[in-house]
């Protein structure tokens, strides 16, 4: 099977599956496809998606974050309402907020404000229309963003997936008038005035596009190509092999269903035999690669090892890591199952072909009520992710009519 065939197979499989949030990857811009959708969103990105005014009362502000299964989440509260939890997603060209938040902090409407819905495209190619709105304020520590254009998005499925209330997704353009740092190792977001930062140590790479979006050139073997820095994805390297000649240590195999904002796709995942090189000083040896027919990207599985300093005005990102040696990625563990989630039960969406779960007879549509004897409501995303990474087996309790049926399923290395 050629790499082109793999990419086509990935897209075809995705179209046949039901929605799951089993690996959240937004990538709301720069996807190939309908030019009218792209141009509409580009106009929103360039002229309408940045805040009307940004004020930072101190030279820099530090906002505690939590890294949940490779996602960067901040929780803030500044009045009697909230707390509000936001996913910080550098892969999104827009900020999406829940109807509750938009209703709580509405901005005064101005002449010329459009009520026309915006078509948004996900990494899987799906398109959904979301209504635009303006909110009066988003406050992250001592950084205040006023009159922010957003899209209104129902975050209930996101909340169910994470096992906590999520109120929105903060897109990259919100920070256009600042320098900001996603400090994964110390779990914090740092927002600085541009005049407060003189120089930043580390590997600095320039964006390679006119609208100063976080797309940078990288190298694998003899190939140089562009990737989106996507903190809204929990994966490692998502690779579009078209026009490239990647060499694999472990050939791509079919994995789990990966959920996106408007749809999902099936993983085709393996391990490269050559390193991923970013700039002159950052190297990831034998990275895990998930094959796609969309824009290549680097997600949280790699990003979590770095402090990333973004300067939108200069169009640069700096990778900082205390250990100067190449990053080595371990095996990717899997239970062989992906789910849609509610507080009361999880429904199996897909079973990884050739996995112990498939050999045990689990099928799409099966209902899980307990994990290791505890109700699924006790298993937030971070806790379940840690279980899969560390355990040799997991006991799932399936609901079979009126009875509960515990089944112990081995965890395996999807990618060694």
26-82: pLDDT as tens digits: 434 433 333 343 444 444 444 456 678 899 988 889 999 999 999 999 999 999 998
Phi, psi angles (nearest 5°) of residue 285:
-80, 135
**CA–CA separation, 178 vs 55, rounded Å?**
9
pTM: 0.86
Helix (H) or strand (E) holding 37: helix 35-43
Is the domain spanning 35-196 CATH 2.40.70.10? The answer is: yes
Instruction: Specify the domain boundaries for CATH 2.40.70.10 within the chain.
Output: 35-196
**pLDDT for 246:** 95
**pLDDT for 212:** 85
Using alpha carbons, select from 55, 256, 86, 60 the residue that is nearest to residue 170.
86
**CA–CA separation, 214 vs 27, rounded Å?**
11
**pLDDT for 198:** 61
Using alpha carbons, select from 412, 230, 224, 391 the residue that is nearest to residue 310.
230
In sequence order, the 6+-apart residues with CB closer than 8 A to the CB of 190 are: 60, 61, 62, 63, 180, 181, 183
Using alpha carbons, select from 202, 234, 236, 184 the residue that is nearest to residue 311.
202
Instruction: Specify the domain boundaries for CATH 2.30.42.10 within the chain.
Output: 332-415
Q: pLDDT averaged over consecutive 10-residue blocks of the chain (416 residues)?
A: 37 30 38 37 51 87 95 96 96 93 88 67 64 95 95 91 94 94 98 75 91 93 95 94 95 84 77 96 95 92 97 94 92 94 92 96 96 96 94 96 94 96
**pLDDT for 11:** 34
DSSP state, 322? S
**pLDDT for 17:** 27
**pLDDT for 259:** 66
**pLDDT for 318:** 96
Does the CA dihedral 33-36-39-41 come out positive or negative?
A: negative
Helix (H, G, I), strand (E, B) or coil at 214: coil
DSSP state, 326? P
pLDDT in tens, 222-268: 999 999 999 999 999 999 999 999 999 999 999 988 765 545 778 89
Whether 309 and 363 have beta carbons less than 8 Å apart is answered as no
**pLDDT for 31:** 33
**pLDDT for 26:** 42
**pLDDT for 324:** 86
For domain 332-415, give its CATH number from 3.40.50.11290, 2.30.42.10, 3.80.10.10, 3.80.30.20: 2.30.42.10
């Amino acid at each position: 099977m050629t790499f082109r065939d793999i990419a086509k197979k990935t897209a075809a499989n995705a179209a046949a599956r039901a929605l799951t949030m089993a690996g959240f990857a937004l990538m709301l811009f720069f996807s190939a496809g309908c030019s009218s959708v792209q141009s509409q969103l580009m106009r929103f990105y360039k002229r309408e998606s940045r805040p009307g005014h940004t004020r930072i009362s101190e030279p820099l502000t530090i906002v505690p974050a939590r890294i949940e299964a490779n996602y960067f989440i901040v929780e803030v509260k500044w009045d009697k309402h909230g707390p509000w939890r936001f996913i910080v997603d550098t892969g999104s060209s827009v900020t999406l907020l829940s109807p509750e938040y938009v209703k709580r902090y509405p901005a005064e409407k101005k002449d010329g404000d459009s009520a026309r819905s915006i078509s948004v495209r996900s990494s899987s190619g799906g398109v959904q229309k979301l209504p635009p709105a303006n909110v009066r304020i988003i406050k992250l520590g001592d950084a205040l963003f006023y009159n922010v254009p957003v899209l209104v998005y129902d975050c209930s499925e996101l909340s169910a997936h994470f096992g906590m209330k999520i109120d929105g997704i903060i897109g990259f353009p919100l920070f256009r008038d600042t320098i900001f740092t996603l400090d994964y190792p110390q779990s914090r977001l740092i927002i600085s005035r541009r005049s407060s930062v003189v120089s930043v140590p580390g590997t600095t790479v320039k964006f390679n596009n006119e609208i100063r979006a976080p797309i940078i050139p990288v190298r694998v073997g003899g190939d140089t190509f562009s990737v989106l820095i996507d903190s809204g994805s929990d994966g490692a390297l998502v690779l579009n092999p078209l026009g490239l000649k990647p060499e694999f240590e472990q050939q791509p195999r079919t994995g789990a269903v990966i959920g996106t904002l408007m749809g999902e796709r099936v993983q085709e995942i393996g391990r490269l035999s050559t390193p991923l090189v970013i700039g002159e000083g950052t190297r990831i040896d034998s990275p895990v690669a998930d094959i796609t027919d969309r824009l290549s990207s680097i997600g949280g599985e790699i990003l979590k090892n770095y402090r990333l300093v973004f300067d939108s005005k200069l169009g640069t990102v700096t990778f900082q890591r205390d250990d100067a040696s190449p990053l080595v990625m371990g095996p990717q563990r899997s239970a062989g199952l992906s789910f849609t989630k509610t507080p009361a039960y999880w429904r199996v969406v897909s079973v990884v072909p050739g996995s112990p779960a498939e050999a045990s007879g689990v099928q799409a549509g099966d209902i899980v009520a307990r994990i290791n004897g505890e109700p699924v409501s006790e298993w937030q995303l971070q806790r379940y992710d840690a279980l899969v990474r560390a355990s040799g087996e997991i006991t799932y309790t399936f609901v079979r009519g009126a009875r509960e049926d515990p089944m112990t399923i081995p965890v395996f290395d999807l990618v060694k």
